[in-house]
Amino acid sequence: MNKIKVGVIGTGFIGPTHIEAVRRLGFVEVVALAESSLEAAEQKAAELGIPKAYGDYKEMLRDEEIQVVHNCTPNHLHFAINKEIILAGKHVLSEKPLAMSSDETRELLELAKEHDVVNGVNFNYRQFPILKQLETMIKNNELGKVNLVHGSYLQDWLLYETDYNWRLAPESGGKSRAIADIGSHWCDTVQHVTGKQIVEVFADLATVIPVRKKAIGNVATFGAQETADQQYEEVPINTEDYASVLVRFDDGTSGVFTVSQVSAGRKNRLSFEINGSQSSAYWNQEEPEKLWLGHRGRANETLLADPALFNDEAKGSIHHPGGHNEGWPDALKNMMKNFYTFIYEGKDPLKDQTNFATFADGHLSMCITDAILESHTNQKWVKVNVGQEVKS
């Protein structure tokens, strides 16, 4: 088997997790990485056991051995780098958001189609095994007609005024933060599981901490807290810490979700409940192996992830026996497995159905974010303007 050769741009928090997931596949090999300087690239390549290091990603894109490139850079770099990856004729897997505006994401989507490259966006939460099970249950009408969808995505990593990260600066993270960063995951996951698309929103956003204290010196994302002698500078904050959004789906179903990065004790709690005409289902990412099923006329249930209990369509997404819990890294592995299997089998991104999030999903996500920001500004319902048909 000839392994698919891969290059990775950016090795902060998310880059190494991509590399670890790809290495678990067996038929894909990470052969190069690029960083902001050759020194940084060589150091990281040595740490991760990667043979090639580039201080300029453009040089890496000229490497003919590389077939696929992962874009794991900060948000404001996504558009330019994704565009250059496509123009270099490489398949591309981008971190989200796909770009910083819906105009940019639309251009990338059109370019990817024009150059016929396989394109993916790392919406990995939809890849949890038990969510594949829930997706099949909804398709099989086991919950009945879906009437309501509600939930939240709560974190606490920006709870204190001394918590600071590049995502807080609009020029680096974008004009939206909590919505674009974690709300986008909630929307993608729920849309994928239900098979419904969000078409209209009404939003309320808030900046809970309007001025933060930025440490003088580098602090890693999700890193340790400050020391007693740490020095700070005050920085005004213009992006949201919190948002609540009413949503309407394309079939008229109603929903609502809340996102927050200032909720003490909540580390990475993406959760949602789906209320159907026969039964309900609830899932929480911090306990990813459990699916709560609610009933009116009989006792409620908790389904534990177990291939022996899954529908046939869902069994391919779970890799261990019941009780051997699969979590966030495994959902990321499923994302990579589906993306790279599509490439290995020589499928056509213009004709063949994908089982991973594509640039079309990334474009839809940005259009939803734009609509949410417009809704908050004007305090009214706003339609999601995709501008073209988007298939999830």
Q: What is the DSSP string of 240-277?
A: -SEEEEEEEETTS-EEEEEEES--TT-SSEEEEEEEES
Percent of the chain whose pLDDT exceeds 90: 91
pLDDT band at 383 (very low <50, low <70, confident <90, very high): very high
Measure the N-to-C terminal CA separation of the chain; round to a whole number of Å: 31
Cβ-contact 6, 214 below 8 angstroms:
no
Mean pLDDT of 336-345: 98
Mapped onto helix, strand or coil, the DSSP state of residue 67 is coil
pLDDT at 387: 85
For residue 139, what pLDDT is reported?
97
- Spatial distance between the Cα atoms of 233 and 229, rounded to a whole number of angstroms: 13
Task: Look at residue 197 in the predicted model and tell me its pLDDT.
Answer: 98
* Residue 258, pLDDT score: 98
Q: Which residues contact 170 (CB under 8 A, 6 or more apart)?
A: 238, 239
- CA 31 distance to own-chain centroid: 24
Question: What mean pLDDT comes out for the span 160-171?
Answer: 92
pLDDT category at 222 given cuts 50, 70, 90 is: low
Cα 100 to Cα 43, 173, 201, distances in angstroms: 30, 8, 20
Average pLDDT score over residue span 103-118: 97
